């Protein structure tokens, strides 16, 4: 199972076009930024879940709010969010999710994703709350369909973060952003990103 492939598969060409129009960018830039956002959120979730309490809180949130049913009409959900219509629920509260996953490091993450995709941090900040519910829905559907316990959920997250790191250009980006999210030294050389991600995943793997 490759979570990055599943996440990327949720974004149709039409949806990427809608997102691009929303933020005023070229579709190629939007798609690249979306990849960076997906990788960042998987890494942030892996970081949060590297503690037993964080992993349990994530599992409870998935069971309560993210069963994956939203993916059945993802175009409708995204369209509603872009238009600002429809009643927001916990399953679509992207800003709330970002506060849990990235905390006060959202702008730092947006700046680095922007640098890798050619977008401004402001454009990335508009994408983050739209894409966060997709990540949680995919993770929730994966948990439910696989009947995953805490150890299984940890394994899926670890694998997803590793897959994100292995994608072209994602390893350095993800390492840098995780360093910022974890309060690490932002001046850290890019090549250390893999080692940093490895330490996060090592902590996560130890909880299995």
How far, in whole angstroms, is CA 40 from its chain's centroid? 5
Measuring CA to CA, how many Å separate 157 from each of 22, 86, 109, 143, 192? 30, 31, 19, 10, 21
What tokens does 33 get? Answer: 């930024």
What global pTM score does this model have?
0.84
Contact in structure between 160 and 3 (CB atoms under 8 Å): yes
Backbone angles phi, psi at 185, to 5 degrees: -75, 115
Contact in structure between 93 and 137 (CB atoms under 8 Å): no
3-class secondary-structure state, position 25: coil
Which sequence spans correspond to the domains of the chain? 3-203
Give me the numbers of helices (H) and strands (E) for the chain, helices first please. 11, 0
- For tokens 């899926």, the residue is 156
Q: What pLDDT digit, counting tens, does each position of 36-62 carry?
A: 999 889 888 988 888 889 899 999 999
Q: What pLDDT digit, counting tens, does each position of 113-147 carry?
A: 998 899 999 999 999 999 999 999 999 999 998 88
């Amino acid at each position: 199972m490759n979570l990055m492939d599943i996440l990327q598969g949720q974004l149709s060409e039409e949806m990427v076009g809608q997102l691009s129009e929303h933020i005023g960018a070229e579709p190629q830039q939007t798609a690249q930024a979306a990849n960076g956002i997906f990788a960042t959120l998987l890494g942030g979730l892996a970081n949060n879940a590297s503690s037993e309490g964080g992993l349990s809180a994530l599992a409870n949130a998935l069971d309560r709010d993210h069963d994956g049913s939203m993916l059945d009409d993802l175009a409708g959900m995204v369209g509603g969010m872009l238009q600002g219509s429809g009643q927001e629920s916990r399953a679509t509260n992207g800003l709330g999710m970002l506060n849990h996953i990235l905390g006060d490091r959202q702008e730092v993450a947006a700046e680095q994703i922007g640098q890798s995709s050619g977008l401004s941090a402001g454009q990335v900040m508009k994408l983050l709350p739209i894409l966060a519910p997709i990540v949680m829905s995919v993770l929730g559907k994966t948990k439910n369909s696989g009947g995953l316990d805490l150890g299984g959920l940890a394994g899926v997250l670890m694998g997803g973060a590793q897959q994100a790191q292995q994608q072209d250009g994602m390893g350095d980006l993800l390492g840098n952003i995780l360093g910022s999210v974890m309060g690490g030294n932002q001046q850290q050389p890019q090549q250390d990103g893999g080692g940093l991600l490895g330490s996060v995943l090592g902590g996560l793997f130890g909880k299995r």
